[in-house]
Amino acid sequence: MGQWNLTNLKKTIYYLKRNGLRATWYAARERMECKGRVPYEYVAPTKRELSEQKRTKLAFGETISILVPAYRTGAVYLRELIDSVLQQTYPHWELILADATEDDSVKQVVESYGDERIHYYHLEENGGISANTNQALEHASGSYIGLLDHDDVLTPDALYQMAARIGILREKGVEAGFLYSDEDKCDGDRSRYYEPHFKEDFNFDLLLSNNYICHFLVMETGLMRAVGFRKEYDGAQDYDLVLRATAKLMESASGEGTGRWAWQRRIVHVPKVLYHWRCHEASTAANPRSKEYAYIAGRRALQDFADRQGWRAVAADLKHLGFYRLEYGTSIFDSRSDLGAVGGRVLAAGQIGGGRYREDGNVYYEGTPKDYSGYLNRAVLQQNAAALDLRCIWVRRECFDLFARTVGVPYVVQEETGRFDASTLPEGADVIALGLALGRALQAEGYELLWDPALTVSL
């Protein structure tokens, strides 16, 4: 972040054409301010840590299949990919390469390794990334499947970290549906690692804003086979996969209880960088126009998800490519029976001073100027919250009594906006403590809370 080069210049020009001068000015200003931050440095596991991992007997010891749809992959990149798998401290894996390259260049590289865990399949035609990955999926024998792009690499502890978490969950009686890790980017020769993506634990509405799950994704084999990859969503096939896998987990948990605990516990975040996403001129990450169709496909995948849920909602693009929001045609509560409350930003002196709260009462994105997007654009994305600011909140009608019991005053609707009239709170009321209490009460009843930064109150 904050590096000015040809790639970022291209992104800025494209952003200007899409969003106009004012938005571009603030985006460029925000990026420039990132230059003063401490630069990111990927810290690899030590040799001692890797050795200990190799000696550790995990509760989960089954095969993890790694799928790679290959097409005209450069020999250098392919060797780095294969080497990164061979270096894994978790030994129970198989690497499945489904190659649509017209010649045998990829095959020659693969066969030079001679490792029986590496399986090569030549495809008769290039059916696109979804069709090619589906063919690789047919050959998988592992109980879990990891997805690896043909020019990216895994960290040496990637499979170990995933297997360890699967085993821990099993001991608690939970079968992981899918797991995801943090990731970063690297340049073509892997001399520089940058733009780390440190992710949140599973956040349903954040997923409906963009595919923050991304890499490294490991999914239970039965679940992946149940949903598969759809060719019509090529470019956003992973987003479509994760959305439909999430829907499957939601369906399977019906009747097991209320709220997020019934199914979201099967979606696991491993908070470590386990995947290096290589960025070069042809990649989506480096060139925003190289795969513009991918962002359109992502929006269509989100719309398909909303339609299948029966929501009256339209998926819309945000200013940043690959980021979306759902616009609900009527009251959001009419479509979303899972939501107990919706809250927005509270601005003080032009900066975020309240809105989405952490469980300890601290404010997410506090101090972010109102025209900035924040880290990985999260300050402008719809997302679930543990608590919301009572000065900018809408509560579902069925929860008015719960609100009154928890907050200590009746839920009075402000006529102009429809939100709670915060002026009815007693003077000196602790809005943060009351908001946290309301969040806990709503979640105890099985409701989620949604933070929508498009809704704003200025103090």
Bond into 323 cis (ω within 30): no
Q: How confident is the model at residue 262 (pLDDT cuts 50, 70, 90)?
A: confident
> What are the Cα distances from residue 19, in Å, to 11, 23, 210, 298?
12, 6, 19, 19
142-178 burial, b at 16+ Cβ within 10 Å, e below that, comes to bbbbbbbbbbbbbbbbbbbbbbbbbbebeeeeeebbb
Report the share of the chain in percent with pLDDT over 90: 82
Between CA 382 and CA 452 the distance in angstroms is: 5
Between CA 62 and CA 167 the distance in angstroms is: 10
Dump the DSSP string for 310-331.
T--EEEEE-SSTT-EEEEESS-
Report the share of the chain in percent with pLDDT over 70: 88
Q: What is the pLDDT of residues 218-249, one digit of tens each?
A: 999 999 999 999 999 999 999 999 999 999 99
Write down the residue that tokens 């520089």 correspond to: 192
Say which CATH class 47-298 falls into.
alpha beta
Nearest alpha-carbon partner for 262 in 274, 271, 253: 253
Q: Which DSSP helix (H) or strand (E) runs through 387?
A: strand 387-388
Q: What is the pLDDT of residues 422-437, one digit of tens each?
A: 999 999 999 999 999 9
Residue 1: the pLDDT is 40
Q: Which DSSP helix (H) or strand (E) runs through 334?
A: helix 332-335
